[in-house]
C-alpha cells in the first residue's frame, strides 16, 4: 500500500497500477489475512482465514488442514469446465509450493524450472524477472482453447529488492520495475483481445515485509500491516468504480463462485468482491506477524475493532470492542480445531 499514491497517499512508485485502478475498479479497504506468502496464497485460493496452526513446527506448518480440500478456488473453476494453471516465477520447492498447488487441484503447475527460462538472469528464490514471467503467461494463454483461470505469482518486489535493470538494491526501483512490467502485461492482454471476455485481478499475498513507517501508522493505525491493494479490470462491469467496503483475501472463494456458477452458496459473513456494489465481509481477520499469538479483527466496515490473543481455551479479547465478541472467539477456536482435525484425517489417509 505505501508504494502507491492512490492507495496510501504516501509514495508515488506505482503510477501504472494507479492508472489502471482509476480507469477500472479498485478497493480502498482490502486486507490480507496473514503476513506470509504461503498463508496469503492459502487465503486467496481456499477461502480460509489461515489462523495459526495447532501443531508443532513441521514441514506442514501453515498448511495444517488445507490438504485435500473439497472446496477451493481451483476446484470451483474446474467444476465449471475451466482450465486452471498456476504459474510462478520462482522455485516451486519454496514451502513445497508445487506439490501443494497440485493438491489444491490446478491442472497445470509451473515454476522457475520451465525450460523457456534458460539463459535469463535469476533473482531471489531462483526467480525470473516479472517481465519474463508475464511474457511466458501470454505465450501460455495462446496455447489454450477453453476458458481458463490462471494464478500468476510475481517475485521481483520480494526481498532483497534487487532491481532487474540496474542490479541495485532498492525498494523503489524494484517497485517501479514491477509496475512497468505489469502495465506492459496489461497492454499485451489487450492486444490478445483478452478483455472481450476476460477479467484481470491484481492484488498481493501480504503487505511488504518491511518496517511500517510513522506516516502509515498515523494514517491507518494497526490496519497498516494488513492493508493491500486490489484492482479488478473487467470491461463488462461498471468502470471508474471505487469500492470502500471492508473485504479480505478469503472472500475470493465465494466471489469467484458467484461470478461463474449458475448456482452458488455464500457462507455467512463472507464478502462479495464482484457484486455491484461489493458486499462487505462481516468481520476482517488478520493474523499478525509481529505478535504471532494476536489476531486483529475489524467488523462492520471498521466501525468495531479488537485484538484477540490466542491461548487455547483461554483465547480472549485483550483490547478494543466487539458487539459479537463471544461468537467471534468461538469462530476462531472452531476454525483452528477444524483445521487440525482435517489434517489428522489427511495423515490417516496417507498412512493407509
Domains of the chain by residue range? 5-282
For the CA atoms of the chain, what is the radius of gyration? 20
**What is the pLDDT confidence band of residue 66, given thresholds at 50, 70 and 90?**
confident
Tell whether the model's pLDDT for residue 211 goes beyond 90: no
List of residues 6+ apart from 186 with CB closer than 8 A: 16, 20, 200, 233
First-to-final CA distance of the chain: 47
pLDDT digits (tens, 9 = 90+) for 118-142: 999 888 777 899 999 999 999 999 9
Of the candidates 127, 135, 180, the residue with the CA atom closest to the CA atom of residue 156: 127
Mean pLDDT computed over every residue of the chain: 92
Can you name the CATH fold of 5-282?
Alkaline Phosphatase, subunit A (3.40.720)
Measure the CA–CA gap between 350 and 115, rounded to whole angstroms: 32
- Residue 334 CB neighbours (<10 A): 10
Measure the CA–CA gap between 82 and 73, rounded to whole angstroms: 11
The per-residue pLDDT for 348 is 83
Tell whether the model's pLDDT for residue 57 goes beyond 70: no
**What is the pLDDT confidence band of residue 58, given thresholds at 50, 70 and 90?**
low
Note whether 275 and 258 are within 8 A (CB). yes
- CB-facing half-sphere around the CA of 197: CA atoms within 13 A: 5
- CB-facing half-sphere around the CA of 140: CA atoms within 13 A: 23
Burial of 264 (0-12, 13-18, 19+ CB in 10 A): middle
Note whether 293 and 20 are within 8 A (CB). no
Q: Taking each helix axis as running N to C, give the angle between helix 171-191 and helix 130-142, from 0 to 180 degrees, rounded to the nearest 10.
A: 20
Angle at 42 between CA 36 and CA 7, to 5 degrees: 60
Amino acid at each position: 500500500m505505501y508504494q502507491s499514491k492512490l492507495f496510501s497517499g504516501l509514495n508515488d512508485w506505482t503510477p501504472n497500477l494507479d492508472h489502471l485502478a482509476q480507469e477500472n475498479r479498485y478497493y480502498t479497504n482490502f486486507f490480507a489475512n496473514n503476513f506470509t506468502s504461503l498463508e496469503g496464497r492459502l487465503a486467496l485460493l481456499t477461502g480460509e482465514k489461515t489462523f495459526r496452526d495447532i501443531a508443532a513446527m513441521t514441514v506442514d506448518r501453515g498448511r495444517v488442514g488445507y490438504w485435500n480440500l473439497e472446496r477451493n478456488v481451483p476446484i470451483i473453476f474446474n467444476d465449471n469446465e475451466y482450465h486452471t494453471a498456476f504459474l510462478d516465477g520462482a522455485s516451486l520447492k519454496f514451502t513445497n509450493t508445487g506439490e501443494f498447488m497440485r493438491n489444491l487441484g490446478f491442472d497445470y503447475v509451473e515454476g522457475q524450472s520451465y525450460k523457456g527460462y534458460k539463459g535469463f538472469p535469476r533473482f531471489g528464490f531462483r526467480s525470473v524477472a516479472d517481465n519474463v514471467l508475464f511474457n511466458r503467461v501470454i505465450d501460455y494463454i495462446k496455447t489454450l482453447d477453453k476458458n481458463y483461470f490462471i494464478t500468476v505469482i510475481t517475485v521481483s518486489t520480494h526481498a532483497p529488492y534487487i532491481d532487474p535493470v540496474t542490479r541495485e538494491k532498492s525498494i523503489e526501483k524494484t517497485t517501479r520495475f514491477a509496475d512497468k512490467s505489469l502495465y506492459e502485461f496489461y497492454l499485451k492482454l489487450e492486444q490478445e483481445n483478452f478483455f472481450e471476455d476476460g477479467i484481470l485481478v491484481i492484488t498481493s499475498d501480504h503487505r511488504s515485509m518491511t518496517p511500517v513507517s510513522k506516516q502509515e501508522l498515523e494514517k491507518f493505525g494497526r490496519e497498516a500491516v494488513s492493508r493491500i491493494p486490489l484492482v479488478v479490470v473487467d470491461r463488462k462491469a461498471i468502470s471508474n468504480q471505487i469500492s470502500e467496503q471492508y473485504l479480505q483475501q478469503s472472500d475470493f472463494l465465494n466471489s469467484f463462485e458467484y461470478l461463474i456458477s449458475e448456482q452458488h452458496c455464500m457462507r455467512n459473513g463472507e464478502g462479495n468482491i464482484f457484486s455491484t456494489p461489493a458486499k462487505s465481509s462481516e468481520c476482517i481477520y488478520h493474523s499478525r506477524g509481529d505478535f504471532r499469538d494476536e489476531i486483529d479483527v475489524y467488523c462492520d466496515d471498521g466501525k468495531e475493532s479488537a485484538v484477540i490473543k490466542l491461548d487455547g481455551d483461554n483465547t480472549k479479547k485483550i483490547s478494543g470492542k466487539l458487539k459479537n465478541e463471544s461468537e467471534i472467539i468461538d469462530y476462531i477456536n472452531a476454525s483452528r480445531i477444524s483445521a487440525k482435525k482435517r489434517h489428522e484425517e489427511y495423515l490417516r489417509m496417507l498412512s493407509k
